[in-house]
Amino acid sequence: MTRPPDKPIGIRPAGQSDKDIPIYRFEVMKKTLLSLILAALTAGNAAAAPQQAAPAKNQAASAPAAAKEAKPADRPASAPASKTAPEPANQTASAAGAEARPSGALSPAAVPQIAATAFIVKDLQSNQVLAANNPDNLIEPASLTKMMTAYLTFKALEDGTLKADEMLTVSDAGWHTEGSRMFLNPHVPVSVSDLLKGMIVQSGNDAAITLAEAIGGIGNDSEQTETPKPPLENFVAMMNMEAKRLGMNHTRFNNPTGLASERHLSTVSDLALLAAALIRDYPKYYPIFSLKSFRYNGIEQPNRNLLLFRDSSVDGLKTGHTESAGYNLAASSNRNGRRIITIVVGAESTEARASESGKLLNWALQAFDTPKLYDAGEVISQVKVYKGSANAVKIGFADDTYITIPHGSGHRIRPVLETEQPVLAPIEKGSILGKLKIMNGKDVLAEKNVVALTSVEEDNWFGRTWDSIVLWFKSVFG
């Protein structure tokens, strides 16, 4: 795309409105409203391919049968609300950023009605939530739990704790576990590679437990002064520690399989973070989620994610089901250079979770554009620095920066840079110095942190003293 001519952009100190202080102008800005419009128009030229129509009832035999993934379990007293379809008023569309979910987002084509307890749809390039219903309500993740078990297994493979060709044997507990199975033989070792496929494609609880016991048992040696935790208990502790690190603040895991438990709960917002982490952190192993079937022990089982058979852009992630949780699906689509994920929970059937997820994916891809605003390290402006060896510091973004906006709405959007004032040295490279807000009138559509692109050391004693005097006069006389 041809770069637009340099244009000014609104800049104001954080916390002050347009009425409180004039909007300063900096000619050094590289991309502004014009670039946003041009990028949005360019992105809009790539028409989103519609999802292939779901097969008619008399053609259902061509799609894989959806086997049950976990044995029905009694609903715990603290389990989430019933699977009644949400009221339309509860469904909200938003092009909000990850740091906040402003209510004033532009309204693109109406959010499709989704028959599920909760859902979320997110653009991973911009990290913006496009629509959500009950995103922070506690729900039973069922076998979506296995995304975390897979995440920790990938981590173990990367750090050398496990080897892909390492042979493991299912324990008695794993062999007798309820729910969906890979059909492991307690007398026949199986490779970690096959266990991953059995867990992800076949949703095998026996495979999940075997991997969890292997990873959780590492480090439990006789040299420890305290009695070591059982491997499964240790693995669950690792799951919760990793969830906390990823920002899954409402999640509590109690097992590696997703079998119903009153203390085993999450949210669609948290599960979206986990799905994004799998795609971002382990691209080497992510293709396992796209396998349409896997054969082990003479038994071939299809992937229960029906979207893999209906939409060529869908390449993962995971399904889940228990009687108390309903039918869950975490799905991801990579189409026209955009990566969209959806989490749908509490649907009424395997068909419903697939069709409702498909609605959200197509809506997100067709109703929004995600143009690139700035390259990583690109200078967008500079900020005055006090008490520093330099009088100003260049600011920009640490990573390539994208923005998701409703299709065709670029002409109504205004970017405004808010900076922290005053900025005092020393400043480390990468320090957050403000935010770029994407505005529609007075409504904030998204916020992106801007950072220092260089470091600034403290000035000498005379320079610091002089700037202290300058700041004092500014505070007194405005």
Active site amino acids: 143, 146, 203
DSSP structural state of residue 46:
S
Per-residue DSSP letters for 212-241? Answer: HHHHHTTT--TT-SSPPPPHHHHHHHHHHH
- Which amino acid appears at position 8 of this protein? P
Is residue 122 within 8 A of residue 129, CB to CB? The reply is yes
Q: How far apart are CA 242 and CA 476, in angstroms?
A: 49
DSSP 329: E
36: alpha, beta or left, given left = phi > 0 and alpha = psi -120 to 50? alpha
Closest to 329 measured CA to CA, from 287, 359, 301, 370: 359
Nearest to 113 by CA among 131, 138, 139, 95: 131
The phi, psi pair for 327, rounded to 5°, reads -105, 120
Specify the 3-state DSSP secondary structure of 389. coil
Burial track 434-447 (b if 16+ CB lie within 10 A, e otherwise): bbbbbbbeeebbbb
